[in-house]
Structure 1
Amino acid sequence: MASDGCSKEDPLEDSRTDSGIDSILKSEEPREPSGDFSGPRDKFSTADERLDSAYTSSSITVESLSEIVEDCSLSSAKHEQAELSGLSEQESLLTTITEDGDTILHLAIIHEDIFISQELIDLFPKEVLDIQNNLYQSPLHLATYLNLTDVVKGLMEKGASLELQDQDGNTPLHVACQHGQTDCVTEMTRDLPLSFLVPVLQTQNWRGLACIHLAALNKQHHIMNLLMKKGADLNIQEGTAGKTALHLAVELHDITSVKMLLSMGANVDAPMFNGCTPLHLAVGRQDAQIADLLCQFGADKMLRNMEDETALDLADGNDHILALFPFDDIQISGRSVVTF
């Protein structure tokens, strides 16, 4: 039996809980991307490089947000946003960051105050909307974590970046796919031209996972369908083992995702880095139903992995699996050579 994972129950399940809102208020240091991943370009930078020059450190806390909002005149500040120098004491509260790197917009979103969040989105220029806190979370990341669809919509309409990656390498779209925030996915992909959206769909987080991988791992079928319609590459390989979304769906015994991916044109014979195809994985996991479905879509039964095994070699005596490989189906180079 192969030692390359063809027959092991080892989907790339997201075993870590996302940092999310629970740890936003902690003062932990951000983690560097793992050296195990040759992922996308490093978007990490120091706080000084990320923050607008008008933003300065503050002792502001989340608990004081309500007080601050009461003291601030958002409507008058709107008319004076062009002049950041000579700010009044009230206005300067809008241009501060916490020790955790949060702007007042971050805090308003954390408090799930949609009205104040929308006011701040209208007030601030795009550069401020894209400020990342110490966990490299932008306001769009946080709004997505909390499934604040209206705030996500407002940020997208104002031009907030969809490409920024948090400390785990996740873009806001990754977050939405992982947590099943379907409405957020809809808002983030609604009006974006393919030239802007496709690079985001191809971005891998530090675990090597693209959005379609996260949707498949979490069995988010509606989101998978949305991503497919928006031009997601169904055959993109995750960065650790070279699995496609189809491999992941097979490993999870998720026949709904398998059917969806195959019907949308996913490569039924896509090889992993070790040469295993989805059929190798289905047979190795003794999943006769999915193996049969793959065969119906033309899976090549004679392909060999790096251990020189065909899918049949992994059947392990399973009669239901063996029935998929009749003796009159012996082929070389796609041509039948034996007929009984």
Structure 2
Amino acid sequence: MPLSLRLPLRRVELDAAPVVRSMEEGDTRLGRSRLNATVRLRHLLHGSERRRKADQEFSAAQSTGSMADFELQELQEMLQEQPSVGARRWDKFRSLWQPQDLENNLKQMLRLAGCSLRILEAVKQEDNEQLMTLCADDELSLVEEEVGMLAGCLFGRPKLVKKMLKKGVLVSSADTDGRSALHLAAFSGNLDTVKCLVKYGANVNALDGRQSTTPLICAAAVSSADTVAFLVDNGADVDAGLDPSDETALHYAVRANSYTCAELLLKAGARTSGTNPRGETPLHVAADYGFDRCMGLLLKHGANVDLVSGTGSKTALHLAVEDGRVQCAKLLREFGARIDLKTSRGQTALHLAARAQSVELIELLLSWDADINARDNDLRTPLHCSIGKQCRSLDTIKVLVNNGALINEGDIAGYTPLHLAAINEFSSCVELLMDHGGDVTLRNRGGVSCLQLIKHRTPSVLTNLPDRFSRSILFYERDNIPNNKFAELKISFNPLMSQAKGECHFLKALIDIDQKHLLKHPLCESFLHMKWMKVRKFLFFNVFYYLVFCILLSAYVLGTCHGDCFNVGRGLQLGLCSGISSEGLVTLHAKCHGSDPPPIQLTCSANKTNAPTRLDLCDCAKSSFQLLAVQKPSFYTGLWYLLVVFDVTLVFKEIFQLVQDPPQYFRNPENLAEWALMFFLLLIGTPIFGDIALWQNI
């Protein structure tokens, strides 16, 4: 597939390769934290060359039949070549400027002035004969003389520089980016050239065009200790760069891992608390790169060990552990670094060490009493962060769980470490977490359980479940006698236990993902048999309880909510209805079912009983439930109280089930039906407050 890149290069007609600018010299509008497009292209091409070479080796190995050895070697190389964050930063920041950039800048000066490149080529190739000819014949223009002196500073030609200065070239000459001759001389690390320029009055504190770099910074960036000492002795400002909040010489000395330069600067009074635009002090730089010698030097000179840097709010300890810098972490701890401080994302040093998957650092932090179950802003623990590369996650997970890490804790989205291991298709990590009590039935906020993810992402774990079950059944023969009737069988049901959801929740989860065949395993069958023997009496009691409740509720509904018989009975009881005596009420059934029964008219106070003003009482003798409502309405009042007791018992039962697993509770329609039944009882059961209303009748 063709690759197309758009490179934002400046329109400069150069014969040389495109200008490659370093991080520090890059366009400030693009931000100092980005590589320019040319560097990205070089990395891309370099990666393509490596892939092409790997393909050739692969083809050769395939043709010779040594595929297994090739794959093993490739895996080992991949593990060895995993670049840390610090290694990537090394590529970005090690050099202040690129020599090729400076040379191209000088070429640009000559071309803009319409001059040839002869003086620059002569200086670069050390062609003394041509240089003598050019200088003696006065064939050089002013621009060529100036470029000749700058080139002499860049390539370390002190005699040429001295000759040009004697010819009248200004010592303050600079290239198009404002870098003076002293900047280039210091960057080349040539002490003789620097001394010559200073002797002719060069400003040791001159700033470049970006107003950020001094000759002292240039010398520190290339680890030129002699040049640093000379510039400091001649009045160079060791803290130049703090205003305007740029990097100081001490930053560059530490980044170059130059212990001598850093020591010279600190003895000259350089501040250890100065920060660069990213908020990093020299101590942060040392921790970032893992330079323990420079770090020890800074700490001995009073560097603040717990100062945070940038928007990430990381301390030096955070930067050290996220790259696996064990020696730096030990050194910082010796000087009192706090291990409980958190970054802007709420992560502790243990979170970062787990993410770096450094077993040694994790054990070290735990020995310093780091909180193994600390939560970040997303509520993730170090165990969550440890799940990264499968080949290294196993060791970090083992260390964390063996030291008490909580396996079944979910993050802000409900994902447990087991969820993450399944999502990343780390079968070995999934099995390890399950061996240490990982609950596969736990669900995230979206209702997805670990077992569902395992089914789709790591199906090999489900394939191994029968073997896991079988390992829980142990058979012992006493005295090593075969077919001994006193043999002992031990069964462990731990693989079936859910940590927080009850004994049968795991089996229910297997059914939910269509793995019912696993229930036929002897371990599952034994568990279900023992469970049945234990709960069957409760099941029978539950069936009997609902049966009685349904019978009583049906009797109550048939007696009170069918017609107006209950209201008539209450009216007769309260003396609000007339037309029949108490003796006649007892024989009401016989009167209404005799031969040619006359209608029994009853007159009631309708506004007090909710009964019709005049009705035929024989309508209430059609069923035994209605007749009982007329004869003994107090029976149904007492029955309603009994139903309320049943109702309250059901409420407590449902609340208990709801607390156990709210999401699962509401997913079961039977539970909603039971709440509807209890609410229905309250709607129809109001006789103690008055009569049955018309809307309550069936």
Select which of 205, 209, 234 maps to 2:280: 209
Distance, in Å, in 2 between the alignment partners of 1:203 and 1:313 is 35
Taking structure 1 as reference, are residues 315 and 25 closer, same or farther at Cα in structure 2, changes over 3 Å only?
Answer: closer
User: Where does residue 20 of structure 1 map in the other structure?
Assistant: 97
Confirm or deny that 1:281 pairs with 2:357. no
1:173 deviation in Å? 1.2
Query: For residues 84 and 335 of structure 2, what CA distance do their matches in structure 1 show?
Result: 25
CA distance in structure 1 between the partners assigned to 2:215 and 2:386 by the alignment: 50
Q: Which is helix-richer, 1 or 2?
A: 2
2:221 — aligned with what? Answer: 145
Partners of 1:25 and 1:100 within 8 A in 2 = no
**Rg bigger for which structure?**
2
Does 1:99 find its partner at 2:187?
A: no
Partner of 2:364: 293
Question: What stretches of structure 2 of length at least 5 have no aligned partner?
Answer: 1-82, 107-141, 154-158, 388-393, 407-698
Contact kept? 1:21, 1:110, Cα under 8 Å: no
**Does the aligned pair in 2 maintain the 1:144–1:152 contact within 8 Å?**
yes
Does the 8 Å contact 1:302/1:310 carry over to 2?
yes
Decide which of 320, 323, 336 is 2:399's aligned counterpart: 320
Within 5 Å, which residues of 2 pair with 1:165-314?
165=241, 169-192=246-269, 197-198=270-271, 201-314=272-385
Q: Which amino acid in structure 1 is aligned with residue 398 of structure 2? A: D
Report the aligned-residue RMSD.
3.0
Question: Which stretch of structure 1 is more off in the superposition, 13-22 or 302-311?
Answer: 13-22
Quick one: percent identity of the two aligned structures?
A: 24
The answer to whether the 8 A contact 1:11-1:248 is kept is no
Note if contact 2:183-2:218 (Cα within 8 Å) is conserved in structure 1. Answer: yes
Q: CA deviation at 1:184?
A: 0.9
Q: Secondary structure at the match of 2:170?
A: helix
In structure 2, relative to structure 1, the CA distance for the partners of 1:291 and 1:63 (3 Å cut) is closer
Which structure would you say has the larger RCO, counting Cα contacts within 8 Å and 6 or more residues apart? Answer: 1
Equivalent residues of 1:284, 1:314 under 8 A apart:
yes
Paired residues in the alignment total: 266
Q: How far off is 1:312 after superposition?
A: 4.5
Q: Relative to 1, partners in 2 of residues 1:294 and 1:114: Cα closer, same or farther, differing over 3 Å? A: same
Distance in 2 separating the partners of 1:111 and 1:304: 50
Unmatched 5+ stretches in structure 1: 1-8, 29-57, 74-88, 328-340
**Would the alpha carbon gap of residues 26 and 185 (structure 1) be closer, same or farther in structure 2, given more than 3 Å must change?**
farther
Aligned 8 A contact 1:143 1:152 in 2 = yes
SS in 2 for 1:129: coil
Taking the aligned partners of 2:364 and 2:279, their CA distance within structure 1 comes to 28
Q: Which amino acid aligns with 1:321?
A: L
User: Which structure 2 residues correspond to residues 119-134 of structure 1 after superposition, within 5 A?
Assistant: 119-121=196-198, 124=201, 128-134=203-209
Q: State the alpha-carbon separation in 2 of the partners of residues 246 and 10 from structure 1.
A: 16
**Mapped partners of 2:344, 2:235: distance in 1:** 38
Residue identity matched to 2:171: L
Q: TM-score, normalised by structure 1?
A: 0.68
1:238, distance to aligned residue in structure 2 (A) = 2.0
How many angstroms apart in 1 are the aligned matches of 2:249 and 2:398?
A: 46
CA distance in 2, matches of 1:278, 1:68: 52
CA distance in 1, matches of 2:369, 2:188: 52
Using the TM superposition, give the Cα deviation of residue 299 of structure 1 relative to its aligned residue in structure 2, in angstroms: 1.6
Partner of 1:67: 160
Alpha-carbon distance, 1:114 to partner: 1.1
Give the distance between the partners of 1:11 and 1:280, measured in 2 at CA.
16
Counterparts in 2 of 1:146 and 1:208: CA distance versus 1, 3 Å: same
Cα distance, 1:243–1:142 mapped onto 2, change above 3 Å: same
TM-score, with structure 2 as normaliser:
0.35
| Structure 1 residues 138 and 24: alpha-carbon distance in aligned structure 2, compared to 1, 3 A threshold | farther
Distance 1:69 1:274, change over 3 A: same
* C-alpha deviation, 1:143, in angstroms: 1.2
